[in-house]
Structures are given as structure tokens and as C-alpha cells.
Amino acid sequence: MIIIKTLTNHIKPMVKIFESMRYHYEVSHLFEDFLELIAITISNSADRQQYEKREARYMQIIGKYKPEEANLFAKLWAMLIVALEDKPDDYLGQLFMELELYNSWKGQFFTPSDVARMMARMTLDEKFDDIMKEKGYVTVNEPTSGGGVTLIALYEEIKKRGYNPQQAMRVVAQDIDIKAVHMTYIQLSLLGVNIQVIHGDTLTLETRGVWKSPGYFLFAGRGIGVKEPVELVEVPEIESIEEITAFEKVEQLTLF
């Protein structure tokens, strides 16, 4: 019942907006452009090194649309923010499924939220509290992030344990699909998580780009959970998949 309510209150109005533009554009292209526009907007608020290149790309994309159509993208973004504030969940993954885009994107499906929550509970074993007491944060590696559903579930589970996930999580995520990269980046950024999302192939170690959240820049050098402060430490900066092997590998939580 909860899932049905979520789809009705948050996803269906977003679906209607995409459907209203279907007569002029391919829905899969609309969704892809929406993701990239929002991801660039978030990135350019914090990552100055990537600003010029990504701003040029933003202008290239938005130039395809009329002003009233561009306003619909802004409305969709506002709806996503409201949804995440109401209850953190993989709304972009749900929207993907509701729009039936798996027909366009090689039969791609996203992990259901209930399964992701079970995985998060299994990941946070008895060692989690020990790490938090010692360091005040945990590092997390998600090798195939999809829309970020497992990370969002982990966010919620850490919150239930009495910690502030915005400060307690340091995340490196990867995905070979740029749309999935954008989905993870957008949703985890809006939740305030310290995350670096790598666009690349986890198996071949090919790296095509890195998206760093505002939370990465805000909490870089911090590891403060709500239970007790810890000494400030330096956060490693990940530029490629190869560097993940050196990223807190002893205490790192790997989602599966």
C-alpha cells in the first residue's frame, strides 16, 4: 500500500508532464535530457572545475526546447525535491519504470525498494557501530548504482540507527550507463550525501567522468555523526575506478 501511495502522490503527476510532451519528442530522449539538465545544474552549483564544459552542454540541450517546455523540466525538478523531502526513495527509478522506458533501453530494470532495504539491513552488520564509534563515518562503494536505490535504502537505514547519513556516509558509486549515473547523482545530491559518482565500466576500469555532489565539497574533511564528533580527516578524491581500491578498503561497505 505504501508503494502504491508513493506512485500516486509523486510519480503519476511527473508521468503526466512527460506524456504531455510525447507528441513532439521521444519520451526516452526527454527523460535523458531531463536527467542531464538537472545533474549539470547541481554540479555547477559546487564543482567549479567542471563548470564551463558542463554549462556549454547544458545550453546545447536546453536550446532544443521552447521556454514553456524548459519550464516543465523545472517543474519536474521541483516535484522530485518535494518527493525526496517527503520520503527518500528511488523516484527516478520508479519514473523510469512507469514510463516503460525499459523497452527503449535494452530491457533495463531497477531494483525494487523493498529488496534494496533488505540489502541495506544486511550490509550494516555488527561492525557498523564499531566503525562509527571509532571514525564517525563509513565509506561505501556501489559498483553498479542504477538509480541509486540501494544507496538511498542505506541512507534510510543509517538514519534509523541514530546517525545523520549526510555526515556518516562517504560514497563512491559507479555505473556504465550515463543515465544511471545522473539518476544516482541527482537523488543522492538532493539528499545531501557526500558522494562521487563515476561514469565508467567497473569490470574494465574504464573511466569517462566523475560527478561530485555538493555534499562532497561541503563535508570534505569531515566525519561527524550525530552521536559524537571526531577529529577532522582528509577525504580522498576519486578520479578513476582504479583509485577505489585504495579508498578506505579496510572499513569500506560494498553493496551487492
Q: Whose CA is closest to 75, among 60, 65, 90?
A: 65
Residue 150 sits in the same domain as residue 247: yes
Residues of the chain with pLDDT under 50: 1-8, 104-105, 221-236, 244-252, 255-256
| Overall number of domains in the chain | 2
Residue type, 115: V
Residue 244 sits in the same domain as residue 121: yes
Residue 96 sits in the same domain as residue 120: no
Cβ(213)–Cβ(44) below 8 Å: no
Residue 137 sits in the same domain as residue 18: no
Note whether residue 108 is domain-resident: no
Query: What's the confidence (pLDDT) of residue 246?
Result: 40
Cβ(213)–Cβ(189) below 8 Å: yes
Secondary structure (3-state) at 36: helix
Helix runs in the chain, H state only? 2-6, 12-20, 27-44, 51-62, 67-86, 91-98, 113-123, 127-135, 149-160, 165-168, 178-190, 214-219
Q: 47, 68, 103: which is the final residue of a domain?
A: 103
Query: What's the confidence (pLDDT) of residue 198?
Result: 95
Residue 87 sits in the same domain as residue 117: no
Report the alpha-carbon distance of residue 46 to residue 72 in Å, rounded: 24
Return the H-helix or E-strand segment holding 175: strand 169-175
Query: What's the confidence (pLDDT) of residue 5?
Result: 41
Note whether residue 136 is domain-resident: yes
Identify the domain containing residue 235 by its residue range: 113-254
Residue 122 sits in the same domain as residue 211: yes
Q: What is the CATH number of the domain that holds 135?
A: 3.40.50
Query: What's the confidence (pLDDT) of residue 35?
Result: 97
Q: Whose CA is closest to 146, among 28, 256, 4, 13?
A: 256
Return the H-helix or E-strand segment holding 233: none
The grid cell for 18 is 512527460
Residue 67: exposed, middle, or buried by beta-carbon count in 10 A (0-12, 13-18, 19+)?
exposed
Report the alpha-carbon distance of residue 44 to residue 182 in Å, rounded: 14
Cβ(149)–Cβ(97) below 8 Å: no
Own/partner pairs for 200-204, CB < 8 Å, 24+ apart?
200/174, 200/176, 200/240, 200/241, 201/176, 201/241, 202/143, 202/144, 202/174, 202/176, 202/241
Residue 166 sits in the same domain as residue 209: yes
Residue 59 sits in the same domain as residue 83: yes
The per-residue b/e assignment along 207-218, b for 16 or more CB within 10 angstroms, e otherwise, is beebbbbbbbee
